[in-house]
Amino acid sequence: TIGVWLFYVQHQFEDAYWATGDQLDPLDAALKGSSYYKLPRVLQWITGNIGLHHIHHLRPRIPNYHLQACQDTVPVLQAVSPLTLKRSLRSLAMNLWDEQQQKMVSFRALRDRPRA
pLDDT score of 48: 94
Q: Which amino acid is at 58?
A: L
Q: Distance between CA 76 and CA 80 in Å, rounded?
A: 7
Q: Which DSSP state fits 65?
A: G
pLDDT score of 115: 78
pLDDT score of 100: 84
Reported pTM: 0.82
Q: What is the mean pLDDT of each run of 10 residues along the chain (116 residues)?
A: 90 88 93 94 94 95 97 96 91 86 86 79
Q: Which residues contact 97 (CB under 8 A, 6 or more apart)?
A: 16, 18, 103, 104, 105
Q: Distance between CA 34 and CA 59 in Å, rounded?
A: 12
pLDDT score of 112: 84
pLDDT score of 103: 87
